[in-house]
């Protein structure tokens, strides 16, 4: 993978970086951002690691996660350079009205917004963690054990731990290199997948109990009331939409999560060639081919109908081309 030379030059020249990633951060967002902060810190650069939302409990085994803050000092404005990771617009990170000395975007999502002085977008890449891996190497910075754990976790989350169609020989080679640098696959998989709280599991049971299958679309729902009853939060639903995809006949799995009365976050997961990023874009959302999302203001039934209609339209169109 070719790292743009302008990014290397800028990272070597500048001293102060605001590293920022998207709201509701996932493992790739947190792991790649923390890894880059640790790497730049190891060569004497100052970094501020920002996310609007807190790091979910189950990612708090990642070394350095406590660097994340949800407040940006006013000193940052105009004097610091921004590195935006795993998303490509400040809106996705939940901020606006900030100015930066320079802005760099490093991302692999299909849905692009027009932002950044230097944009490194690679939609073919499995994870932002992979791009950060090459970036750190290109900078000549040593991949320490802590950096390796973060990058391995980032890549794990976005490849379903080396199972999804984005798992290439290159991904496995980088994974092997990260293991050599000190990442322990068993420890990381165990931390990522086998440390759920009882409440989170209860929430999953409740969500799966709402399952309905319409044609080849599986729909599950999580309401605000379920969060209250199980003492959980929105971050606990990460990966929930993967479960109904286990059913052989299902091509799209959609999880409707209630944000507020009449406002829903819809997470889409698909199999094979069904590009759910294209469907999410119809609702001003976005993502990847097999994992995307959007928000919709409607009552639940209308929101479901709107999705089914969009999927029908998409399937009709893709049959024509």
Q: Least separation, in Å, of the C-beta of 313 and Mn ion?
A: 27
Which one among 14, 51, 53, 86 touches Mn ion, defined by CB under 5 A?
86
Q: Which is nearer to Mn ion, 28 or 110 (CB)?
A: 28
Q: Least separation, in Å, of the C-beta of 111 and Mn ion?
A: 12
| 51 makes contact with Mn ion (CB under 5 A) | no
Binding mask 193-232 for Mn ion (x = CB under 5 A): ----------------------------------------
Q: Least separation, in Å, of the C-beta of 213 and Mn ion?
A: 28
Q: Least separation, in Å, of the C-beta of 28 and Mn ion?
A: 3
Q: Which is nearer to Mn ion, 28 or 258 (CB)?
A: 28
For Mn ion, the nearest residue by Cβ is 28
Interface region with Mn ion, contact rule CB under 5 A, candidates 22-30, 59-67, 217-225, 279-287? 22-30
Interface region with Mn ion, contact rule CB under 5 A, candidates 50-58, 69-77, 150-158, 186-194? 150-158
Q: Which is nearer to Mn ion, 76 or 135 (CB)?
A: 135
Residues contacting 135, CB < 8 A, separation 6+: 3, 7, 8, 11, 36, 106
Interface region with Mn ion, contact rule CB under 5 A, candidates 15-23, 81-89, 132-140, 262-270? 81-89
Q: Dig out the tokens for 94 from the structure.
A: 């939940």
Interface region with Mn ion, contact rule CB under 5 A, candidates 21-29, 89-97, 117-125, 268-276? 21-29
Q: Least separation, in Å, of the C-beta of 206 and Mn ion?
A: 28
Give whole-number Cα distances, 147 to 1, 105, 130, 151, 181, in Å.
19, 20, 12, 6, 9
Q: Least separation, in Å, of the C-beta of 27 and Mn ion?
A: 8
| Contact criterion met (CB below 8 Å) for 266 and 256 | yes
Q: Least separation, in Å, of the C-beta of 267 and Mn ion?
A: 14
Binding mask 23-42 for Mn ion (x = CB under 5 A): -----x--------------
Q: Least separation, in Å, of the C-beta of 31 and Mn ion?
A: 9
Binding mask 158-187 for Mn ion (x = CB under 5 A): x-----------------------------
Q: Dig out the tokens for 193 from the structure.
A: 């997948």
Cα separation, 270 vs 315, whole angstroms: 13
Residues that bind Mn ion (CB under 5 A): 28, 86, 128, 158
């Amino acid at each position: 993978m070719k790292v743009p030379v302008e990014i290397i030059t800028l990272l070597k020249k500048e001293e102060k970086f605001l590293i920022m990633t998207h709201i509701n951060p996932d493992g790739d967002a947190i792991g790649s951002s923390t890894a880059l902060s640790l790497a730049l810190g190891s060569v004497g650069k100052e970094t501020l690691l920002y996310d609007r939302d807190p790091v979910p409990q189950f990612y708090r085994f990642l070394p350095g996660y406590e660097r994340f803050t949800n407040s940006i000092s006013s000193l940052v404005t105009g004097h610091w350079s921004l590195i935006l990771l795993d998303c490509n617009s400040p809106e996705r990170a939940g901020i606006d009205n900030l100015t930066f000395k320079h802005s760099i975007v490093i991302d692999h999502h299909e849905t692009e917004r027009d932002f950044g002085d230097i944009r490194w977008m690679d939609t073919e890449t499995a994870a932002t963690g992979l791009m950060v891996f090459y970036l750190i190497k290109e900078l000549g910075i040593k991949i320490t054990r802590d950096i390796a754990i973060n990058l391995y976790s980032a890549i794990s989350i976005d490849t379903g731990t080396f199972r999804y169609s984005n798992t290439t020989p290159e991904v496995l080679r980088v994974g092997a290199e990260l293991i050599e640098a000190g990442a322990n696959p068993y420890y990381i998989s165990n931390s990522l997948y086998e440390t759920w709280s009882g409440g989170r599991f209860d929430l999953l049971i409740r969500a799966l109990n709402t399952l309905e299958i319409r044609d080849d679309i599986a729909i599950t729902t999580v309401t605000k009331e379920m969060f209250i009853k199980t003492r959980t939060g929105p971050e606990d639903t990460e990966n929930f939409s993967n479960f109904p995809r286990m059913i052989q006949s299902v091509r799209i799995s959609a999880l409707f999560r209630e944000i507020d009365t009449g406002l829903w976050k819809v997470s889409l997961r698909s199999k094979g060639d069904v590009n759910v990023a294209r469907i999410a874009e119809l609702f001003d959302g976005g993502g990847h081919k097999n994992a995307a999302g959007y928000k919709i203001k409607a009552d639940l039934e209308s929101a479901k109908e709107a999705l089914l209609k969009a999927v029908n339209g998409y399937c009709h169109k893709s049959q024509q081309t």
